A and B are shown apart, each in its own frame.
Chain A
Amino acid sequence: MSFLSRLAVKSSGFSCIRRMSVYPQHYAEPVVQKNKQIEQKSELAKLHHVPIKAAVNKASDTVFHDDTKEKMVNYITKKGNSALARSLLSKTMELIKRTQTEHMNLAKGDDKDKINTNAETLLKQAVENCRPLLQVTAIKRGGVNYQVPVPITTKRSYFLAMKWLLEAAREKERKVSLPEKLAWEILDAAHGQGRVVKRKDDLHRQCESNRAYAHYRWS
């Protein structure tokens, strides 16, 4: 609607249409975690004269904060129901812990120490194991769409890993609940087995086989 788009244009900034936002453009993002504030001290000193946006509802400086978990909750969220997503993830963590503790109780002697019951580190490890290093994009040359291997940013690789985990978890029978399936997938991935790691390996294999087209990036 034209009158609304006119409303959206503010005086500063050179992009034609800026999305409507309560905060003017020069407001800076808050840094909620205290340890991150200490890390970025020098950059934050420059913000002495810049107003800061309010911290979001989900953000808080708990001692239990974990970036991977927060991202995971966001990816599980559907229709803005992040409370439900959070509870699902905590059930997943619980299930992982239970399985691991049971393994530990059944193990003998030395093996006991090798079993990791920390669900968070297991999740992190699973994501690390499923991270692709390259991805393929379709590049059109001479009427043909070639699948060209292309480097990937770290953020995107983490995103892909978590997305694949969730996709694998959602392919299940009706009776099995998401936390259960997701717990199994995470445990598998953390030990380097399972569907998601296979998917990553397939992608790597495809990249390797399409090495010849790599120069199509620059044509």
Chain B
Amino acid sequence: MKMIRNRFGNLSRVSVQLQRHVQQMATSAAVAPAEGATINEFRTAVANPGEHSALQLAKFYTIPAEQKKQIFTGGGLPKQYELQIKTFTEACLMVRNPALELLEYIKGADLTKPVVRYVLYGENGTGKTLTMAHVLHYGALNDFLLVHVPWAPNWMKRPKEASNAAGQEGMIDLPFDAAAWLVHFKNQNGKLLQRLQLKTGKEYVWSKRESTPAGSPLLELVEHGIARIKYASETTAALISELKQLSTAGQCKVMVAIDGFNAFFHPITRIFSDNKQRVTPDRITLTQPFLDITNYDWTNGVCILSVDKIAMTEGYMDSYMPRYLLGQAGFEHLDPFVPVHVDNYTDKEFHSYINYYLDRHWINKTPQGFEEQLKFMSNKNPYSLMQLVRAL
């Protein structure tokens, strides 16, 4: 792993980083020679998103491998990005304006008031998911309980298995997906849950012989859902309602992050009921809890959602605006919300990204004027730039 750039005068952090670095060295086979105390113009040593400010705009900060494993194992970073991380042997995120804006809002928010919903929107490939990742990192470091759905349309379009719900009539269950989500939840929040010692408020009866009594730790609830896949969806619902109550009671802070939220309102899914009929999302048990938690009837938390064109099917991809993508029902559900626009790179960010690629030896062919050409070819769109640069 690349050694974190040392910042002069911050010895305590250095020692913490060094400890982590030693661990990383033990786990990985690579030995990177220290490059001295040089801070490249496109990197910043400030690793805590909470301390990012306008000074660090257009600069890259590294997410330590352990934290990345904790937060993002169940998803949350795009696949191409994961590949890049593997090749560059480090997880670097760029500090950009939408993320900074969101972080400011969150830091300055009054958590005693009802929950504020932030909606990230923008064209394809502008960086909505990575902005969310940035904010998630902040949340993880600042004792937020993360309720993170990496990509909601996965449940609608590629469910592992759909079965009839045990408890409710006419509803469809997604057992494996719910169980996978619970595993992801446990990964992200395991330590925090243990530290906070949260307990359930009421009793949950799953069947004649199984039940979870009131006052049992939340972790047990989660593990029950993972073990008994049949009741995974119901466990999720229970878990989320518990979280709402607990956060309103002030025992914990909750950060909800859902990518592709408009999938919950899009009428076309690929799930079919027993009589081969298409099922709309409101008949799926998993949508309910997440719609519930994005209401504004609880406090002490923050909701970050993103709406994406790709979450819809063909024919519904005309615009990237939230009103169009959410539809009437979704818009009413989310109204009022704070929209955050994620746009293409600015010149400075673009330049910084090129420098980063050069540093990582990813761009090898650098004839004169190549930067300008890449700028115009990709229109400074992050995704297009990544694709164009792949072959260079």
Q: Is B315 an interface residue (CB 8 A)?
A: no
Interface string of B71-106 (1 = CB under 8 A from A): 000000000000100011100000000000000000
Residue A62 is within 8 A (CB to CB) of chain B in the complex: yes
By the criterion CB–CB under 8 Å, are B361 and A101 in contact? Answer: yes
Q: Nearest CB to that of B370 among chain A residues?
A: A63
Assess the A64–B367 pair: CB atoms within 8 A.
yes
Q: Which residues of B contact A64 (CB under 8 A)?
A: 365, 367, 370, 373, 392
Chain A, 102-126, contact with B by CB distance < 8 Å: what is the 0/1 string?
A: 1011101100000001111100000
B364 & A63 in contact (Cβ 8 Å cutoff): no
Binds A, one of B13-21, B29-37, B210-218: B29-37
Contact of B362 among A101, A105, A108, A121 (CB under 8 A): A101
The reply to whether A97 and B33 form a contact with Cβ atoms under 8 Å apart is no
Query: Are A119 and B87 touching (Cβ within 8 A)?
Result: no
B390 located at the interface, meaning its Cβ lies under 8 Å from any Cβ of chain A in the complex: yes
Q: Which residues of the partner chain B approach A98 to less than 8 Å between Cβ atoms?
A: 83, 87
Q: Are B391 and A94 in contact (CB under 8 A)?
A: yes
Contacts of B391 in A (CB 8 A): 89-91, 93-94, 119
B368 at the interface (CB under 8 A from A): yes
Q: Which one of A62, A64, A101 has the highest number of Cβ atoms from chain B below 10 Å of its Cβ?
A: A64
CB contacts (< 8 Å) of B88 on chain A: these are 101
**Residues on A with beta carbons closer than 8 Å to the beta carbon of B33:** 109
Partner of B365, one of A89, A105, A109, A118: A118
Q: Are A63 and B362 within 8 A (Cβ)?
A: no
Q: With a CB–CB cut-off of 8 A, which chain B residues contact A108?
A: 31
The interface size of chain B toward A, counting residues with CB under 8 Å, comes to 22
Residues on A with C-beta less than 8 A from B31 are 108
B30 close to A105 (CB less than 8 A): yes
A104-163 with Cβ < 8 A to chain B: 104-106, 108-109, 117-121
Task: Say yes or no: B365 contacts A120, CB within 8 Å.
Answer: yes
Query: In the complex, what residue of chain B is closest to A107 when comparing beta carbons?
Result: B30
- Chain B: interface secondary structure? loop
Annotate B350-364 by CB proximity to A: 1 below 8 A, 0 otherwise: 000000000011101
Q: With the chains together, A121 CA to B365 CA distance in Å?
A: 9
Within the assembled complex, what's the spacing in Å between the Cα atoms of A163 and B76?
42
- Closest chain-B Cβ to A128's Cβ sits at a distance in Å of 18
Task: Check B361 against A62 for contact (C-beta < 8 Å).
Answer: no
- Once the chains bind, are B364 and A118 in contact (CB under 8 Å)? yes
CA distance A94 to B33 in the complex (A): 26
Q: Are the C-beta atoms of A117 and B361 separated by less than 8 Å? A: yes
- Given that A101-B87, A105-B89 are contacting pairs, would A63 and B368 also be in contact in the complex, using a CB cutoff of 8 Å? yes
CB distance from A104 to the nearest CB of B (A): 7
Determine how close the nearest CB of chain B comes to the CB of A122; give it in whole angstroms: 10
A91 to B391, CA, bound (A): 7
Most A CB within 10 A of own CB, among B29, B89, B364, B367:
B364
Q: Residue A97 contacts which of B89, B362, B369, B373 (CB distance < 8 angstroms)?
A: B362
Q: Contacts A117-B361, A117-B364 given; indicate if A106 touches B30 (C-beta within 8 A).
A: yes
The 4 closest A-B pairs by CB, nearest first: A90-B391, A118-B364, A94-B390, A63-B367
Known: A90-B390, A93-B390, A101-B360; 12 extra A-B contacts, CB below 8 A, are A63-B367, A63-B368, A63-B373, A94-B390, A97-B362, A105-B32, A105-B89, A106-B29, A106-B30, A109-B33, A118-B365, A119-B364
Q: Show 9 residue pairs from A and B whose CB-CB distance is below 8 angstroms, ordered by the A residue.
A: A62-B373, A64-B370, A97-B87, A97-B364, A97-B390, A98-B87, A101-B360, A105-B32, A120-B365
